[in-house]
Every structure is written in C-alpha cells, then in structure tokens.
Amino acid sequence: GLVVSGIRTRGLVVSGIRARGLVVSSIRTRGLVASGIRTRGLVVFGIRTRGLVVSGIRARGLVVSGISTRGLVASGIRTRGLVVSGIRASGLVGSGIRTRGLVISGIRTRGLVVSGIRTRGLVGSGIRTRGLVVSGIRTRGLVVSGIRTRGLVVSGIRARGLVVSSIRTRGL
C-alpha cells in the first residue's frame, strides 16, 4: 500500500521508490510522482509521463513548464488538453483562467489545480479539491502536504485513506 521511505509499493511512496500509485519524491510510478521521475499518471517536477508533468518534461497528458505535449503545454502555448501558463484550453489553464480540465496557477477547474484554487480533480498548493491536493488543503482524494483528506496525505494531516507522516488515518 504505502512506503514512507525508500521501499517499493503498488500504492504510494513518500520518498524515492517505485510505486504504481503515487511517488512524492523522485521515483518511477504509474500514478503520480511529486519530484522528478517517470510516471504514467502525474509528475510534479521534471520527468516524462503519459499523464501530467508539472515542471519541464514531455508528457502525453500535461506539462507544467516549458515542454510540448499532446495534452498540455506549460508555458504559453495552446493545447487540446491543458495550458499551464496563461492560455485558455478546454482541458487545462496554467495561470488564472477557468477550465474544465486543469489549472496550474490559481483558478477553479473541474480537473486539476496546481496552485491555490478549488477543483474536483487536483490542487497543487493549498486549496480544497475532491481529487488531490499537492500542498496543504482538504481533499477527498489525496493531499501531498498537510491537510485533511479522505484518500491520502503525504505530510502530517488526518486522512481516511493514507497518511505518510504522523497523522491519524483509517487506512494506514
């Protein structure tokens, strides 16, 4: 299910190991990678992925900073899936524009928000969401850093599903 430091798991890895579900820091995973490793689902900083890349690598789904992709472009380019920086898109908007798919910086969206706004899918930094929160807000799905969630919390808050660091949870 979950490994807090350095072990393989099908569910989640908090620091540096492969996982099919989520990796918080630098390991391959099919689900999510918080910092720098390949994944089929999501990458927060800098590695290839079929799903989402938050910073600087190719991806079929989403790129947060500066790389072409079939799904999302991180910096100022239109895309069918997602735009990380300042352009409207049916899928994602990177900075300050509503979208049905994803918002990288500060706007509501039904899909994903990387930095600071409500969303049903994912929030990167500090906002409520039904899907995932990368840093510090309530969510039903996953929280990477410090807030309540029904699914997973990577650092220090209650969760019904999983908590990586020092908080109550019904799951792990």
Structural domain including 87 reads: 23-170
- Count how many domains the chain has: 1
Three-point CA angle 43, 140, 89, nearest 5°: 50
- Asked if residue 13 belongs to a domain, the reply is no
CA atoms of 38 and 30, how far apart (whole Å): 8
- Asked if residue 14 belongs to a domain, the reply is no
Residue (of 10, 86, 77) closest to 41 by Cα position = 10
Kindly report, residue by residue over 119-161, the tens digit of the pLDDT: 333 333 333 333 333 333 333 334 333 333 333 333 333 333 3
Return the pLDDT at 80: 35
61 to 44, 74, 81, 147, 164: CA distances (angstroms): 13, 11, 7, 27, 27
If one compares 12 and 107, the residue with the highest pLDDT of the two is: 12
The overall average pLDDT reported for the chain is: 36
pLDDT tier, 48 (very low <50, low <70, confident <90, very high otherwise): very low
- Asked if residue 44 belongs to a domain, the reply is yes
Residue (of 29, 32, 36) closest to 52 by Cα position = 32
Mean pLDDT within 51-76? 35
- Asked if residue 94 belongs to a domain, the reply is yes
- Asked if residue 18 belongs to a domain, the reply is no
Model pTM greater than 0.95?
no
- Asked if residue 65 belongs to a domain, the reply is yes
- Asked if residue 114 belongs to a domain, the reply is yes
- Asked if residue 11 belongs to a domain, the reply is no
